[in-house]
Chain A
Amino acid sequence: MPKVKTNRVKYPEGWELIEPTLRELDAKMREAETDSHDGKRKCETLWPIFKVSHQRSRYVYDLYYRREEISKELYEFCLDQGYADRSLIAKWKKSGYERLCCLRCIQPRDHNYGTTCVCRVPKHLREEKVVECVHCGCQGCASGD
């Protein structure tokens, strides 16, 4: 048989420190995926997915950019393996989007009148104070509040 290339994961150093948390978050995601939909609205069933995804990406982003506890290599490894969302982190690096909830909420094509989601509006500028956005259940991700 010809040699088949397999991709075997080679964990960089420092991985042991972050692995438990990442495994935990993975388990949480699995739980969100397999939850039943009873008692929830149709859009509400997806909210935990977005929440966990945000949480995971946030963890990796914090480690590298804020706390600087992992190396670039490890960081890139996490992004490649799918433990964090690269494009979401790319948004977090921009000013005004530091707390962005998900990528759907800033996509004008997804909204009527080509706007962004209501969760992006700062609370002091909104009329309804309590709001859960329909995409990800976010209650306000503007950088101000």
Chain B
Amino acid sequence: MAHRILRDHEADGWERSDFPIICESCLGDNPYVRMTKANYDKECKICTRPFTVFRWRPGRDARYKKTEICQTCCKLKNVCQVCLLDLEYGLPVQVRDTALNISTHDSIPKSDVNREYFAEEHDRKARAGLDYESSFGKMRPNDTILKLQRTTPYYKRNRAHVCSFFIRGECTRGAECPYRHEMPETGELSQQNIKDRYYGVNDPVAMKLLGKAGEMGTLESPDDESIKTLYVGGLNSRILEQDIRDQFYAHGEIESIRILADKACAFVTYTSREGAEKAAQELSNRLVINGQRLKLTWGRPKPDQDGANQQGGVAHSGLLPRAVISQQHNQPPPMQQYYMHPPPANQDKPYYPSMDPQRMGAVISTQEAGGSSTENNGASSSSYMMPPHQSYPPPPYGYMPSPYQQQYPPNHHHQPSPMQHYAPPPAAYPYPQQPGPGSRPAPSPTAVSAISPDSAPAGSGAPSGSSQQAPDVSTATGSSQ
């Protein structure tokens, strides 16, 4: 072809560079790399022009790698000089082009003198500093490509090649053979061609990846028609319920949103199945809140309805806290329970009042009348099954563990009133109250002090002054008296 003899290597047309343009996987895991640089050592596999070849070893168990294509060709497609995969995403050219809907394909000539001319022109412009259309910097990543991209470096491709003598059974080198003694991978993927890979045409790896991407997009609806809950995973502390609501409200009426911060997940329940399906369809691969990409799948129903919520237990409602599940064991559950991924083993952590809807103000009709609320027994509710996850059964009030005892005995006869702070009287159980006074020592003395002057009228007037839960209190105090 029309190659010029190297008379003056400053002259146009022949490429020089100081460092190769390569991806992380090809550079290797070792921070110390020794690289040789050989000017005009080999010709580029694509444009066949001589270029600077860099050769290094990407890690201890790797073979030596060298740059295969010149920097001009590599910049035209924004790929690594060695592996010809995209520099940002680590994907084959065909995959990246299809996913981002860009086509550099036609503008690069592929044959003979045309190709050389194009490459040289491009090179000359680049060296002259003209900012040609480096469109790769302006690409906005879309979801598909973000899902497909490789996030961690892949060092398996740096392994030695397979020993061809070993394949025939003739390797006499034995232990010192530097090549791999494995059978080679066969099949579609093994017939790859560097030019095909570079131009993004007929690349088997790319086809396979695109095939997988096509299937990945769809999120199938579950067969069980009553499931209206979507599981959202990958939350972080910056994502608030309101953010989730904003994303999901457009698709249907939201019945409830439950966030489990310790598991970094949330459950969104719609009032209608259609709403849930619509949300799943719209958001399935596109859910991004506050810059955080979230996983979206359907919630799954609990497999068994008995006390499966044991310690370290498996199934747990995403919607209902454990306390209420136990309640629901007593009645046929009107709706199904949901799995949490993974279930929290919550024995040691205090049971927060905010986890209990009743303490947050929800009213459960069946429990009020049966509310225990005896003087000494107000804390333990006999009609309530103990939330099974707890490691010790709720002792009656008087048997409270000692650290809390000094707070309680003075409150003892003011019992209804301090109880209001820590538990709704009908549904009270002592365990939640234990961390209550432990964690809130400040309120209790004030509560005590507030209550004590009122204790004379037997506390009936006091509750109204100091309690926050008006409706239940009066009944409790009434019954406790």
Binding site for B on A (CB under 8 A): 39, 112-113, 127-132
Contact = CB atoms under 8 A, between A and B. Distances in A.
B34 A132 contact: no
B176 A127 contact: no
Interface in B152-186: 172-176, 178
Nearest to A112: B36
Contact of B176 (A39, A113, A128): A128
Nearest to B55: A112
Contacts of A132: 173, 176
Contacts of A128: 176, 178
A127 B60 contact: yes
Nearest to A41: B173
B175 A113 contact: no
A113 B178 CA distance: 20
Contacts of B60: 127
A131 B36 contact: no
A129 B178 CA distance: 12
Given A113-B34, A129-B175, 11 more contacts: A39-B172, A112-B36, A113-B36, A127-B60, A128-B176, A128-B178, A130-B174, A130-B175, A131-B176, A132-B173, A132-B176
A39 B171 CA distance: 11
A112 B36 CA distance: 8
Nearest to B175: A130
A136 to B, nearest CB: 14
7 contacts: A112-B36, A127-B60, A128-B176, A130-B175, A130-B176, A131-B176, A132-B176
A113 B57 CA distance: 12
Contacts of A112: 36
B305 to A, nearest CB: 59
A127 B176 CA distance: 12
A83 to B, nearest CB: 32
A28 B45 CA distance: 47
Contacts of A127: 60
Contacts of B172: 39
Nearest to B170: A39
A140 B60 CA distance: 20
A69 B144 CA distance: 82
Nearest to B177: A130
